[in-house]
Amino acid sequence: MKQRSLSISIGALLLTVGSTLQVQAQQLPLRSNWQFNYFQENPAFAGFTDCLELKAGFRQQWAGFDGAPQTAFANVQGELGRTAGGGVHGFGGRVTDDSAGPYGFTQLDLAYAYHMKMAQGWRLAAGAAVGFMQYRLSLGEIVLPDFQAGNDPAITSNANQLLAPTMDFGVWAYNKYTFWGLSIQNLIEPSVDQWGLDTRFQRHVSLTGGSMIRLDGPWSFHPAGSIRFAAGAPVAVDVQAMFDYDESVRFGLGYRNETALAALMTLNLMENLTIGYAYDWNVGPLSQASANTHEITIGVLACPPRALVASRPMMATACSLNPRPTAGDG
């Protein structure tokens, strides 16, 4: 009878693990203040700034709940060199650590991108990132009726982490006032055959676009949108509307389809230091059962003062929240 109970418990454990892994594999972590950190999701953004730019942040989802999702992320990118024809070589590195209950992963990769001049002031960048993900599962944290994995050496002796290769690809088209982006994450869809499971980490495809509209005086308006697709997961549509004042502060609202409303802000504290904050209100089916979400991002640009005057245009960098014309572009 004891052996039968143990078999049922192990079966239930694997079912729980399988469900957890399948859900997490289908959906990479979302961020709200993505207008402040494009490179984290699109490797084509590498080399967008002339100087090294560092971004780091933390997202606490459903604050106050035990085992709620947490995401820490950091990246660095910059220009590697220029060609005689005005092309730009960019490079960078990214790291993400995500956890939710007993499950988590750490991803590390290196990116390269090339930016080429196009007609009428446009530039087109294409980039790729390669690296690995370390997936982990704390089996001892999964508690079942009359059984706890942490008490059974047959379970805890099994490897509870694994490595899988990753490859991302991205395209970024931009001019002084407008940008369009395409990114494909988990391009090779690595599969996992461990813990008695056989699952595949799904490919994610994201389309992003936005613009900057000059208003009266020092004001400008920055609408942007993003759509993310992944097999087995709902389509995530994110729209944002932000106002910028004098390249010093940017604030606005964002909405993610049927799940969250976000208040967004980025603030230039000094010439090369910017901080961003987002607060999400749950507005979907879980709005009554879950707490709200906090996200903070810090950006540092290793540039001499005003060195970005000749930088390529567009969107939020650590030294400036507004686009600047590219040297030699119309």
Task: Output DSSP code: residue 39.
Answer: G
113 assigned to some structural domain: yes
Instruction: Indicate the range of 20-34, 123-137, 304-318 predicted with least confidence.
Output: 304-318
pLDDT at 146: 52
Residue 323 inside a domain? The answer is no
pLDDT confidence of residue 21:
45
Q: What are phi and psi of 150, to 5 degrees?
A: -65, -15
Q: Do residues 24 and 17 make contact, with C-beta atoms less than 8 angstroms apart?
A: no
Predicted pLDDT of residue 62: 74
Q: State yes or no: pLDDT of 162 exceeds 70.
A: yes
- When mean pLDDT is compared across 76-90, 109-123, 266-280, 315-329, the lowest value belongs to 315-329
Strands 293-302 and 52-60: antiparallel
What's the domain count of the chain? 1
- Per residue in 194-220, pLDDT (tens digit) is 555 556 778 999 999 999 999 999 999
User: Residue 75 contacts by C-beta under 8 Å, 6 or more apart in sequence?
Assistant: 37, 39, 40, 54, 55, 56, 92, 93, 94, 95
Q: How confident is the model at residue 232 (pLDDT cuts 50, 70, 90)?
A: confident
- Does residue 109 come out as left (phi exceeding 0), alpha (psi in the -120 to 50 range) or beta? beta
Calpha distance 210→241 (Å, rounded):
10
Whether the per-residue pLDDT at 309 is higher than 80: the answer is: no
Measure the CA–CA gap between 89 and 85, rounded to whole angstroms: 12
Residue 118 identity: M
Residue range 93-116: average pLDDT?
Answer: 93
pLDDT confidence of residue 56: 97
Question: Is there a domain that residue 319 lies in?
Answer: no
CA distances 83 to 44, 86, 91, 192, Å, are 17, 5, 15, 42
Chain-centroid distance, C-alpha 142: 28
Tell me the pLDDT band of 37, cut-offs 50, 70 and 90.
very high
Between 70 and 22, the more confident residue is: 70
Whether residue 324 is contained in a domain is answered as no
pLDDT of the residue at 290? 60
Average pLDDT, the chain: 80
Show the tokens assigned to 272.
């090369």
Which pTM does this prediction carry?
0.80
User: 44-69 pLDDT, tens per residue?
Assistant: 999 998 889 999 999 998 776 777 88
Q: The domain spanning residue 129 has which CATH number?
A: 2.40.160.40
Token output for 113: 């991108």
Task: Quote the CA–CA distance of 325 and 60 in Å, as a whole number.
Answer: 36
pLDDT of residue 3: 42
Whether residue 122 is contained in a domain is answered as yes
Whether 224 contacts 35, CB under 8 Å: yes
CA distance 278 to 266: 9
Residue 10 near residue 91 (C-beta atoms within 8 A) = no
Lowest mean pLDDT: which of 124-128, 150-154, 208-212?
150-154
Per residue, what are the HEC states of 112-169?
Answer: EEEEEECHHHCEEEEEEEEEEEEEEECHHHCEECCEEHHHCHHHHCCCCEEEEEEEEE
Give the pairing of strands 219-230 and 70-82. Answer: unpaired
pLDDT at 161: 76
How far apart are the C-alpha atoms of 118 and 103, rounded to whole Å?
Answer: 45
- Higher per-residue confidence, 44 vs 144: 44
* 105-74-300 Cα angle (round to 5): 170
Q: In one letter, which amino acid is 237?
A: V
Any domain includes 190: yes
Strand partners, 236: 228
Q: What is the pLDDT of residue 258?
A: 73
The answer to whether 55 and 318 are in contact (CB under 8 A) is yes
* Residue 259 covered by a domain: yes
At residue 82, does pLDDT exceed 70? Answer: yes
131 is a domain residue: yes
Print the domain residue range for 230.
Answer: 2-310
- Residue-wise pLDDT for 236-260, tens only, equals 899 999 999 998 999 999 999 878 8
306: left (phi over 0), alpha (psi -120 to 50) or beta: left
Residue 144 pLDDT grade (very low, low, confident, very high; cuts 50, 70, 90): low
